[in-house]
Amino acid sequence: MRSSARRAARRIVVFGAFDRHNFGDLLFAHVAGALLRRRGTPATGYAGLAARDLRACDGHAVSALSTLLAATDSRPLTLLHAGGELLTCDAWRAAVMLLAPDEVPTTVAWLESRPAERAQWIRQRLGGDSLAPYTASVAPAAGTRVIYNAAGGVDLDRCDAALRAEVLARLRAAAAVSVRDRVTLDHLRAAGVRARLAPDAAWLVAELFSGTIAERAAAGALAGLPQRYLAVQFSAEFGDDRTLDLLAAQLDQVAAATGFDLVLFRAGAAPWHDDAAVYRRLCGRLRRARARLFASLALWDLCALVAASRGYCGSSLHGRIVAAAFALPRVSLLPAGARQPSKQSACADCWEPEAMPGAVTAEKLAAATLAALALPARLLRDHAAALAWQCRAGFDALLDAAL
């Protein structure tokens, strides 16, 4: 049987954390799906840990992985992990982030001091005992192949030993592995895991989806927004009073220097992500900057918001990468005392031009943002094109090696 026919005979399930609302994870599923279609091997399903329908916010109708694996299908299986910081996501965090936000406080308060009940609850929520459930374990059926695309695991050396051992064993058993930063690559190589380096899949958003994003903007997704604005985002962990005071002062400095407005957006509505109430508290502290909250959580609306901005600053790695893909200035924001390297700094150090600011804490945000805004537009365009090419080539090389 010829190679193309063999590939067509396989079923390909794209797996990831797109069973909850997170900017990057929702985008990964679309990128993987588009790249597979280009190769003539379209995905036969999209899977998370739980069945969810996120089409209302431009995601996918996602099946539980256990359901797809149990489906009657004689074709050999390829499970493609679509990307993200999945190597260090433990079962507790994975289970909580699948809750509705209003369920989190009481659930966490009840379970945190009850380890036996917590273990049982996690097992019921996730359907198994995996310590790192987004690194799926697939029964060694004939022809089954597992592929990891541009995975992240910056904190793998800091994880519990049992979780780390489980992750490394699954990576060793995979048909092919690529990771998105050198920190993760070094962790895996030190453990004897073969892996290659490839840019995060979201670098392809402009190449693959600029038409979709432009259509969404033309349909009114950005109606009422100012002509010149910065796209600003930060997670709920920045919500203490001291940090908000610092952020307000720094953003006032940027607004005074540029005349830009601020548009605040949520890059994730899943538990432990972004909180609109924190943004409202920031707005009450601003003295010079004009700010508004972008209400939509739809993926293509968020991409349109970033693409139409003058630049991005925030804690979401994928807010930064989407800005980079559209050749815009960008700065990553870290909480005070953040452990280094972070996923934001690791990716910036690996892929960004030396002149582009990386990840900074709140007190350095104004200087870093103004430095990013001063960079030549041609540098940003050339870099975006080069990284998109590397990303596409890395994906194709990974699948060619595995299939």
Lowest mean pLDDT among 58-72, 245-259, 371-385: 58-72
Checking if the pLDDT of 236 tops 90, the result is: yes
Give which of 222, 138, 217 is closest to 173, Cα–Cα.
138
**Across all residues in the chain, what is the average pLDDT?**
95
Chain centroid offset of residue 152 CA: 10
Would you say residue 292 has pLDDT above 70? yes
Residues 198-213: tens digit of each pLDDT: 999 999 999 999 999 9
Determine the average pLDDT of the residues in 171-190.
97
For residue 183, which of 147, 156, 161, 148 has the smallest C-alpha distance?
Answer: 156
Question: Who contacts 263 (Cβ-Cβ below 8 Å, separation ≥6)?
Answer: 225, 226, 229, 230, 231, 232, 291, 292, 293, 294, 305, 309
Q: Other C-beta atoms within 10 Å of 45: how many? A: 19
pLDDT of residue 1: 34
C-alpha distances in Å from residue 166, one per residue of 90, 163, 247, 365: 11, 5, 39, 38
Residue 84 phi/psi, 5° resolution? Answer: 110, 175
Structure tokens at 259: 């005349």
Q: Which residues contact 228 (CB under 8 A, 6 or more apart)?
A: 258, 259, 260, 261, 310
Q: How far apart are CA 42 and CA 399, in angstroms?
A: 13
Q: Summarize pLDDT for 315-328 with one digit per residue, the tens.
A: 999 999 999 999 99
Cα(252)–Cα(155) distance, rounded to whole angstroms?
A: 34
Instruction: Name the DSSP class of 284.
Output: T
Assess whether pLDDT exceeds 90 at residue 75: no
From residue 63, how far is each of 17, 22, 292 by CA, in Å?
Answer: 11, 17, 36
Residue 255, both tokens: 């607004």
Judge whether 352 and 323 are in contact, CB under 8 Å: no
Res 7 pLDDT > 80: no
| Sheet (strand 61-64) strand order | 52-53, 61-64, 45-48, 11-15, 77-81, 145-151, 176-179, 196-197
Within 10 A of 116 (CB to CB), how many other CB atoms are there?
A: 8
Q: CA-to-CA distance for 399 and 395, rounded, in angstroms?
A: 6
pLDDT at residue 10 is higher than 50: yes
Q: Residue 3's pLDDT is what? A: 52
Q: How many angstroms from the chain centroid is the CA of residue 136?
A: 18
Place of tokens 């975006």: 384
- pTM for the complete prediction? 0.96
Please report, for residues 69, 143, 239, 349, 403, the alpha-carbon distance to residue 72 in angstroms, rounded to integers and kept in the order given: 8, 15, 48, 45, 22
Q: What are phi and psi of 230, to 5 degrees?
A: -100, 140
pLDDT band at 72 (very low <50, low <70, confident <90, very high): low
- Supply the DSSP symbol for 84: B
Give CA–CA dist 319/222, Å, rounded.
Answer: 17
Residues comprising the chain, all counted: 403
User: What is the spatial distance between Cα 367 and Cα 129, in angstroms, rounded to a whole number?
Assistant: 46
For the stretch 344-357, pLDDT in tens is 999 999 999 999 99
pLDDT computed for residue 143 by the predictor: 77
pLDDT in tens, 297-313: 999 999 999 999 999 99
Sequence-separated (6 or more) residues with CB below 8 Å from residue 325:
202, 203, 204, 205, 206, 207, 384, 387, 388
pLDDT of residue 141: 65
What pLDDT is stored for residue 142 in this prediction? Answer: 65
Instruction: Report pLDDT for 67.
Output: 86
User: For residue 139, what are the contacts with CB-CB under 8 A and spacing of at least 6?
Assistant: 69
Report whether 249 contacts 347 (CB < 8 A). Answer: no
- Looking at residue 2, its pLDDT comes to 41
- Contacting residues for 15 by C-beta, under 8 A, at least 6 apart: 46, 47, 48, 65, 79, 80, 81, 82, 134, 136
- Would you state the pLDDT for residue 140? 63
The pLDDT assigned to 68 comes to: 83
Q: What is the DSSP string of 167-234?
A: HHHHHHHSSEEEESSHHHHHHHHHTT---EE---GGGGHHHHHHHHHHHHIIIIITTT--SSEEEEE-
